[in-house]
Amino acid sequence: MTEKVAIRGADERTSIDLQNRLPSFDEVLFRKTRPPVDLFMFYLFLQHESAEDVLDFWLDVHQHENLCRAYFKDVRKSGRTIREDWPQYYEYARRRGSIYGTVATTKRDTGSAGDLEKAAEANRDYTRSVSPRPPTSTSATHNPNPPTTQTRKSTEGHVQLAVAEDGTQPKRSGTSFSARRLSLGRSFSKRASRAPTIIPRDSAITRTDLIASAERIYLRYLAPGAPKEIYLPAALRIHNFPLSSASLPQPALPEYEIESSALAQVPDMFHQQKEYVFRAMEQDAFPRFLRAKAFGNLTPVGALVRLCVGLLVLWVGLATAFSLIFLDVKPKSKRFFLFIPFALAVLFLVSHQYELDPILVFLGQSETTPFRAIRIREPYVNKLLLGRALWVMFLVLLGVVVLTMLFWAVPGHRL
């Protein structure tokens, strides 16, 4: 109960803090933000760049780690210790450290909790210091020489593991990110995932479940020729996965020393790769995402359509203006009606230039996909967009006045 109150208080503080600044990448990934700078919009942004696989990988690994935490808590609730239930992993964590810290131990492990915690911290520091720096472009996170299976980009909806850190299915109000992403995938492709990876909580999680989760991640993202293969530097590549969840009996107790050693690495197997992908997105894709969604509300396709329409309407307006001049149409005040095509043309052209439609901003909307919009719910982003919308409207008004007065002042001359 105390933990829930603390989490609720932290969320409230984050919400108040976000009223005066843009969100961080951590806040977006852990769903502490609202549209148009939430996780769903970031996924759409990456999908437009054909780089959503890196985010899928990060989410899958994060859920794999949550599944491992749920396993450790199940063991703790059973009254056993990791040293008793999984001695190979306990020795691995004691020697090399683990990202789970003291989650993988209980109070019965007297004298070992502090060792594990120190080892975990040392391992995290070591990971930060030796992990290669990410590329300067998110596009570099994909294999530069992809296999033939990658020539056609998959847009299938990705379904997350519906397991929270406590091993239960999380309850959220409204449409979850997973469901919205799956719905989006179906709208782009008929090959949406039909088999969501959901671990039932009517029974304790076993090591076979952990192996199945890790095996799925390896085959989907890291194996040579994988359907969603991502690029990683040589030091972080995993060339094979020696275990198979189908060949191991419950509760996954391999008889051979090599298999036991490999199984002990499963909980921490993808953490360094996850950190590398995180930094790659944080340094390149995320700043561009903020520029696109916190300072604009149009998709690239929407901006391009406005450019084409603006040029067409401008041509119509100029053709009409020159016709009125060279036909010397009387009275001259009829030329004031030129403000209508000029207003539309300048509005569309300036909207393309700033990737911001002021009309949509005043209606509180931001484009998600071409010609589909979502309500702006992040207060600070809404304030930024309103300020830019007012500036765009000032430029539109200035352009319309200049063009209208210019063509009104030119004396008529019948050819």
Q: Where are the alpha helices (DSSP H) in 49-140?
A: 52-77, 82-85, 87-96, 113-130
Angstrom CA distances, 380 to 285, 309, 362, 389, 408, stand at 21, 31, 15, 14, 42
Query: What pLDDT score does 412 carry?
Result: 77
Taking alpha carbons only, the member of 300, 407, 291 closest to residue 345 is 407
Q: Is residue 60 predicted with pLDDT exceeding 50?
A: yes
pTM: 0.73
Q: What is the C-alpha to C-alpha distance for residues 162 and 379, in angstroms, rounded to an integer? A: 30
Query: What pLDDT score does 64 carry?
Result: 93
Query: What pLDDT score does 165 carry?
Result: 47
Angstrom CA distances, 101 to 74, 117, 275, 322, 342, stand at 16, 5, 17, 76, 65
Q: Is residue 341 predicted with pLDDT exceeding 60?
A: yes
Query: Residue 291's CB: how many other CB atoms inside 10 A?
Result: 11
* DSSP string for 18-70: GGGSPPPHHHHHTT---TTSSHHHHHHHHHHTT-HHHHHHHHHHHHHHHHHHH
Identify the sign of the CA torsion 109, 112, 117, 120: negative
Q: How confident is the model at residue 299 (pLDDT cuts 50, 70, 90)?
A: very high
* Adjacent-strand bridge partners of 142: 230
Q: Is residue 77 predicted with pLDDT exceeding 70?
A: yes
Helix (H) or strand (E) holding 367: strand 365-369
Whether 258 and 48 have beta carbons less than 8 Å apart is answered as no
Query: What pLDDT score does 264 carry?
Result: 81
Query: What pLDDT score does 190 carry?
Result: 34
Q: How confident is the model at residue 266 (pLDDT cuts 50, 70, 90)?
A: confident
Q: What is the mean pLDDT of residues 206-212?
A: 85
Would you give the DSSP letter of residue 90?
Answer: H
Q: What is the mean pLDDT of residues 398-408?
A: 94
Query: Residue 167's CB: how many other CB atoms inside 10 A?
Result: 19
Most confidently predicted of 82-86, 249-253, 295-299: 295-299
Burial call 20-35: b when 16+ CB within 10 Å, e when fewer: eebbbbebbbeebbbb
What percentage of residues in the chain have a pLDDT greater than 70? 67
